[in-house]
Structure 1
Amino acid sequence: MSQSTLFDVNSHFQKIYARPVILEAKQLSQVFKYGKTERTVLNQIDLKIHKREFICVIGPSGCGKSTLSRVIAGLDPYHSGEILVDGEMITGPSPERGMVFQGYTLFPWKTVKENVMFGPLMKGASRMTAEAHAREWINIIGLDKYENQYPHQLSGGMKQRVAIARALVNEPKILLMDEPFGALDPHTRQRMQKHLMDLWQNIDITIIFVTHDMDEAILLADRIVALKANPGEIKEIIEVDLPRPRSLDLMATPEFKRLRKHVDHLVHAQEDELDPALQDLPKIPRMTQVSSTK
Structure 2
Amino acid sequence: MTEHFDSKAYFESIYTRPVMLETKNLSQIFNHGDGERLVLNKIDLTIHKREFICVIGPSGCGKSTLSRVVAGLDDFHSGEVLVEGQKIKGPSSERGMVFQGYTLFPWKTVKENVMFGPIMKGISRTRAEEMAREWINIIGLDKYENQFPHELSGGMKQRVAIARALVNEPKILLMDEPFGALDPYTRQKMQKHLMDLWQNIDLTIMFVTHDMDEAILLADRIVALKANPGEVKEVIEVNLPRPRSFDLIHSTEFKQLRDRVNQLVHSQEEELDPSLEDLPKIPRMTQVSTQK
Structure 2 length as normaliser, TM-score? 0.95
Tell me, what secondary structure is at the counterpart of 2:3?
Answer: helix
**1:90 shift after superposition:** 1.2
Supply the RMSD in Å over aligned alpha carbons: 1.9
Counterpart-to-counterpart distance in 1, 2:71 and 2:191: 22
Counterpart-to-counterpart distance in 2, 1:201 and 1:216: 17
Counterpart-to-counterpart distance in 1, 2:74 and 2:256: 37
Query: 2:157 matched to which residue of 1?
Result: 159
1:77-92 equivalences under 5 Å are 77-92=75-90
Q: What is the letter of the counterpart of residue 258 of structure 1?
A: Q
Counterpart-to-counterpart distance in 1, 2:260 and 2:270: 18
Structure 1 pair 289–240 and aligned structure 2 pair: CA distance change class (3 A): closer
Q: What is the letter of the counterpart of residue 107 of structure 2?
A: W
Counterpart-to-counterpart distance in 1, 2:274 and 2:23: 29
Counterpart-to-counterpart distance in 2, 1:265 and 1:172: 34
Tell me, what secondary structure is at the counterpart of 2:196?
Answer: helix
Tell me, what secondary structure is at the counterpart of 2:29?
Answer: strand
Query: 2:102 matched to which residue of 1?
Result: 104
> In 2, are the aligned partners of 1:60 and 1:273 still within 8 Å (CA)?
no
**1:68 shift after superposition:** 0.2
Query: 2:20 matched to which residue of 1?
Result: 22
Describe the superposition over 1:104-153 as per-residue Cα deviations: whole angstroms up to 9, x where unpaired: 10000000000000000000000001000000000000000000000011
Structure 1 pair 74–273 and aligned structure 2 pair: CA distance change class (3 A): farther
Q: What is the letter of the counterpart of residue 286 of structure 2?
A: V
Structure 1 length as normaliser, TM-score? 0.94
Structure 1 pair 89–76 and aligned structure 2 pair: CA distance change class (3 A): same
Counterpart-to-counterpart distance in 1, 2:5 and 2:186: 29
Structure 1 pair 234–153 and aligned structure 2 pair: CA distance change class (3 A): same
1:44-83 equivalences under 5 Å are 44-83=42-81
Query: 1:214 matched to which residue of 2?
Result: 212
Tell me, what secondary structure is at the counterpart of 1:5?
Answer: coil
**1:283 shift after superposition:** 6.3
Q: What is the number of equivalent residue pairs in this alignment? A: 290
Query: 2:123 matched to which residue of 1?
Result: 125
1:259 to 224, 239, 257: 257
Q: What is the letter of the counterpart of residue 53 of structure 1?
A: E
> In 2, are the aligned partners of 1:75 and 1:92 still within 8 Å (CA)?
yes
Is 1:225 aligned to 2:189, yes or no? Answer: no
* Structure 2 stretches lacking a partner, 5+ long: none
Q: What is the letter of the counterpart of residue 135 of structure 1?
A: R
* Structure 1 stretches lacking a partner, 5+ long: none
Counterpart-to-counterpart distance in 2, 1:262 and 1:224: 11
Counterpart-to-counterpart distance in 2, 1:89 and 1:182: 31
Query: 1:31 matched to which residue of 2?
Result: 29
